[in-house]
Amino acid sequence: MAIAALEGVRVVELGEGVSAAFCAKLFGDYGAEVIKIEKPAAGDITRHWGPYPDDIPHPEKSGTFFTLNTNKQSVTLDIDTAKGRELLVSLISQADVLIENNMPRQMKEWGLDYASLSKLAPKLIMISITPFGQTGPYANWKAYDLNTFHLTGAGSRYCGRQGEAPLEHGTYSAEYYGAYVAATWGLASVFAQDETGGEHIDVSCAEAIAATFVGGQNIGGFAQDGVFGSRTGVGMPLAAPATILPCKDGFVWMLALEAAQWHGLVNAMGNPDWAKLEMFDDMFTRAQNSDLIYSMMIEWTMQHSKQDIMDMCQENNCPSTAVYDIQDAAEHPHMQDRNYVVELEHPVIGRVRDLGAPVRIPDCPGGPTTAAPLLGQDNETIYREKLGLSETQYRDLQSAGVI
């Protein structure tokens, strides 16, 4: 039996919302022991976001909380009390990794900034995932995922119709992105921890996207030539077909760039006369005639389902795909072949389906194995057994509302 990739790694998570929770979940997926710190009574904000079964709000039944917090323990702790902070520091001192997404100013006020913590725990790997990072003029700006995403240029340049509002995907796109980056840096530091020691990893979710996505293909050209584009609402305005079109039961991402892909698409469409024009062999010429091309294509796509169009195109070496909604994607036979969706037992909700691990190691695949924790469910174990509090001390902290 293989040892899990992160077996023995002890993580404390001190955060609210998506970024820190998802980063810590990635650790938990592969065998790390994750203790999630939550506010007494209310718990993590995502407990109040839903979605809930039958839309009935309940702090133990939030789907967003569930999917972000599998394989974790939960303890409650009032960080605004001196005793609470003392307990937290004890927990952090026993950990290898701290994952947090609080405002830098707030961490300093709590005495939990890296300079302070590294004195107590020199080998600590502290992963800070914030909208804008630990330094710079916006470091202490209040921001949610939406503010973060739109500081990257991604919406203005790439998403939305000209003249209308720039868009973000309908999810916490910036926080997930930053969390993946943070987990990557974090796992590398964990790998080298014995040799190199502690580290403070400062991830700005906005900066990660501004750099790697928006900057990745724009910044060199803009710096040299001073010209930049903005969103059009069309997948690729300079080549065609390359955009989303409607079809009989939804939408398809129609894409044919190279001549062979275009010929494949023409074949899939049943070789209509309009498409046989030789000038249309060139993707740029097609784009110049995109009104015509797209209207003729829509006549065809509207007669077929998204999956049929995808299958016909793919068989003809044209890389068009169906625009799957969440049901299409999650319930696709492909996902069943790969067992991507898992089922877990939760004491309040019952059986719950969740997405599996993003990356699987054949010997020890990882992924969610225990349901998201109830609020403070591990208080007794962690405080009594791990920190060695006596029965009286524990009860006193409870009645004082610290835990």
Collapsing DSSP to helix, strand or coil, 187 comes out as helix
- Bond into 241 cis (ω within 30): yes
Instruction: Give me the residue label for tokens 């006596």.
Output: 390
Instruction: Determine which helix (DSSP H) or strand (DSSP E) holds 379, and give its type and residue range.
Output: helix 379-379
Using the rule CB under 8 A, which residue among 76, 101, 148, 301 binds other proteins?
148
- Site for other proteins contains 13 (CB under 8 A): no
Separation CA 243–CA 237 (nearest Å): 8
92-131: contacts with other proteins (CB under 8 A): 114
CB 321 → other proteins: shortest distance, Å?
Answer: 5
By C-beta, is 306 or 379 nearer to other proteins?
A: 306
301-330: contacts with other proteins (CB under 8 A): 314, 317-330
- Site for other proteins contains 295 (CB under 8 A): no
Using the rule CB under 8 A, which residue among 58, 110, 116, 235 binds other proteins?
235
By C-beta, is 18 or 77 nearer to other proteins?
A: 18
Using the rule CB under 8 A, which residue among 106, 135, 288, 381 binds other proteins?
135
CA 156 to chain CA centroid, Å, is: 21
Collapsing DSSP to helix, strand or coil, 403 comes out as coil
Binding range to other proteins, per CB under 8 A, among 71-79, 142-150, 265-273, 380-388: 142-150
361-380: contacts with other proteins (CB under 8 A): 361-364
* Range 206-210, long-range pairs (CB < 8 A, 24+ positions): 206/131, 206/132, 206/133, 206/143, 206/148, 206/149, 206/151, 206/152, 206/174, 207/132, 207/133, 208/177, 208/178, 208/181, 209/149, 209/152, 209/154, 209/174, 209/177, 209/178, 210/151, 210/152, 210/153, 210/154
Size, binding site for other proteins by CB under 8 A: 159
Binding range to other proteins, per CB under 8 A, among 94-102, 136-144, 265-273, 287-295: 136-144
By C-beta, is 26 or 88 nearer to other proteins?
A: 26
- Site for other proteins contains 2 (CB under 8 A): yes
